[in-house]
Amino acid sequence: MLELNVLNETDKLEAVILGIADSPGPPPSVEEAYDPKSKEFIKKGAYPKEADMVAEMSAVAEVLERYGVKVYRPELLENVNQIFSRDIAFVIGNQLVVANVVKDRAQEKRAISGLLAQIDPKCITELPGEVRIEGGDVMPWNGKIFMGYSEEEDFAKYKVARTNRAGVDFIREKFPDWEVHAFELEKSDDDPRRNALHLDCCFQPFGRDMAVIFPGGFKHGRDADFLIDFFGKDKVIEIDREEMYNMASNFFSISPEVVISERGLTRLNEALRARGLTVEEVPYAEIAKQEGLLRCSTLPLRRIKV
């Protein structure tokens, strides 16, 4: 059996599902794209090429394996974009929650069915149809769960609204021993600089007690203030709108001491090193054109406290 354990974002990683970039299919049309950053690069004729994305993901796999992480990959589905494994499921404690993703991506869940078969069925949670959650909006953090979501008005309006109020309520009921804090996110189907696709596009904890945040990604300033107060202003790296657009909050922690980050995020990487972290830099700028980066591409299954 495949054992699950995820209590936070940064404990030492033992097992993870890393997405795959093989056979993503032809570039979508603007109408087929379901995020504004993809639309931008489709219009520019600069949508990422399969070979470049495969090379970027291989670089991540090499780093993970070098740190002794067991790396699982989804089953290949021809002509399906399977890069962003975080959104199709997520783990809290010893429970893997199978997400209800946007309709365009529902088939991606088939690709991890073989892995799910290795998990005790009592540790797998399926969501009711009205409950919508994607894993990029869910962050366990030592007894607390931070969630990004949209209230009904925005959820019905925006294609980029991925987690609804019913999703927040479901997580509260399913995990009564966890304290859930939910934050409405800024959404735009057309402007990637005004869109926080998921919570991890504007916020992420790192180390043992620190965080990166873009306050402008939250619909209500009080929510960003809450997180800054929770971690402490001296423990927070604030990023600006352009850094958010370049996915600066979407790095990935291998442990409290080590993160993987995109090599072009110079200021962020220097700031992380200044706080004592080892930053493993990888090329990931092509994949970032689809409004996702390293956290989006990884689904942690097991972390251990060290």
pLDDT of residue 186: 98
Q: Is residue 8 pLDDT above 80, yes or no? A: yes
* Rounded-to-integer distance, Cα 180 and Cα 143, Å: 9
Q: What mean pLDDT is reported for the chain?
A: 96
Task: Report CA-CA distances (Å) from 62 to 73, 93, 98.
Answer: 13, 27, 27
pLDDT of residue 302: 98
- pTM assigned to the model: 0.96
Are 250 and 265 in contact by the 8 Å Cβ rule? The answer is: no
Are 2 and 91 in contact by the 8 Å Cβ rule? The answer is: no
Q: What are phi and psi of 34, to 5 degrees?
A: -120, 25
pLDDT of residue 37: 97
* Rounded-to-integer distance, Cα 88 and Cα 98, Å: 6
User: Which among 240, 291, 295, 231 is positioned nearest to 267, based on CA atoms?
Assistant: 240
Q: Taking CA 206 as the corner, what is the angle to CA 72 and CA 250, rounded to the nearest 5 degrees?
A: 60
* Rounded-to-integer distance, Cα 281 and Cα 31, Å: 34
Question: Could you give all domains of the chain from N- to C-terminal order, each with its CATH number?
Answer: 12-304 (3.75.10.10)
Mean pLDDT of 74-78: 94
Strands 124-126 vs 95-98: parallel, antiparallel or unpaired: parallel
Are 91 and 120 in contact by the 8 Å Cβ rule? The answer is: no
Per-residue pLDDT band at 277 (split at 50, 70, 90): very high
Per-residue pLDDT band at 33 (split at 50, 70, 90): very high
H or E element, residue 210: strand 210-213
Mean pLDDT of 166-174: 98
pLDDT of residue 205: 98
Neighbours of 130 (CB within 10 A): 10
* Rounded-to-integer distance, Cα 23 and Cα 51, Å: 10
